[in-house]
Amino acid sequence: MGLDLLLASATPTPNTGGGGFDLLGTILWPLKWAVELILVAWHWLFTAVGLPAASGITWILSIIGLVIVVRASVFPLFVRQIKSQRKMMEIAPEMKKIQAKYKGKKDQLSREAMSRETMGLYKKHGTSPMSSCLPLIVQMPIFFALFSVLNDVTKHATQGLGGVGLLSAELTQEFYDATIFGSVSLHGTLGQAVETQNTVAIVLLVILVVLMIGSQFFTQLQIISKNLSPEAKTGQAYQMQKIMLYVLPLGFIFSGVFFPLGVVVYWFISNLWTMAQQFLVIREMPTPGSEAAKAREERLARKGKAIDASGKVVPMAAYEAEQQRMLEEAEKAKQEAYKRQQPVSKKRAKKKGSN
């Protein structure tokens, strides 16, 4: 496959359905164009190194390449999400106090006061509920664009059309004809595999769905079991996390039945990426007071290092010197506070004696 495919002119797919204005298609058009660009670029790269252009494995690797590009681009948002989730857990006790303060108060002034205090708490700790949703918000349109691209493969291949961008008619036909294990189509679903009694496709898709559920469950389990402080495990947010631990993975059962194999592969690889990222972030940026934080402190201690007051990793000697300095400053502040109280105490005693 030549490099000229990457430089082909990008034109929207004509509306052959005779219908009216397609609002969703118009919104997804730029994202579908970007998805096709990344897919075709990876496909060209893999064919350039010798993989068969029409092979299902080549297209599977291209989808994995798409995951790498998308997840790498949203990694900063992922780190921000982890920090936001951690802070939301940490402020749960304070949030509970605000809710208790205004419990039963339905008047406008009380609602506004509660809203101000809540937003003030978010601002103080540099977090908000929306921050924890940013990676998902960014990725979902891309996911729907990929689903749309793969869903259009069958229709476009039968009509001899290409995609909205660099996925030409030739590449669309190659994608449509591509299979793995000899009989598993990338645009086929588990439902279709059951209808056609394609045992290989059924087994493959069922295995992927089970792995998707397992990876999602383990990712959530890492957060609530290792990266929460004891105080955070008493709030309502923690209870919601426990519920989501078991509820969220069930959504993959639906996806495994109705989504094409290419989309299932994308989602599974994305889950693996999330799980690995979660592991690294929890290992290197754990919540203070959590089991993960204690484990990190023990690892650093074995290396002769520790975490100073600013959160930086420093040699143990520097850490001990800082602790000694903080102890001396605390003792000095205590003595000064005691001296300030002495004149007041003497005046009170003198006044009491004169009475």
The predicted pLDDT at position 16 comes to: 42
Instruction: Using alpha carbons, select from 41, 52, 33 the residue that is nearest to residue 4.
Output: 41
CA atoms of 299 and 276, how far apart (whole Å):
20
The predicted pLDDT at position 351 comes to: 58
Instruction: Please say whether the beta carbons of 162 and 168 come within 8 A.
Output: yes
Which of helix, strand or coil describes residue 51?
coil
pLDDT digits (tens, 9 = 90+) for 189-218: 888 898 989 999 999 999 998 898 888 888
The predicted pLDDT at position 38 comes to: 92
The predicted pLDDT at position 4 comes to: 39
Query: Strand pairing partners for 180?
Result: 184
The predicted pLDDT at position 344 comes to: 54
Which residue stretches of 227-260 are H helix? 236-247, 251-258
CA atoms of 97 and 110, how far apart (whole Å):
14
pLDDT digits (tens, 9 = 90+) for 234-255: 666 667 777 777 777 777 777 7
Mean pLDDT confidence for 129-140? 69
CA atoms of 67 and 272, how far apart (whole Å):
10
The predicted pLDDT at position 350 comes to: 58
Element (H, E) at 46: helix 23-48
For 252, residues 6+ apart whose C-beta sits below 8 A from its C-beta are 209, 212, 213, 216, 267
The pLDDT-based confidence of 22 (bands split at 50, 70, 90) is low
Instruction: Please say whether the beta carbons of 256 and 189 come within 8 A.
Output: no
pLDDT digits (tens, 9 = 90+) for 51-83: 998 899 999 999 999 989 988 888 777 777 767
Neighbours of 8 (CB within 10 A): 15
The predicted pLDDT at position 44 comes to: 94
Instruction: Using alpha carbons, select from 255, 250, 257, 251 the residue that is nearest to residue 190.
Output: 257
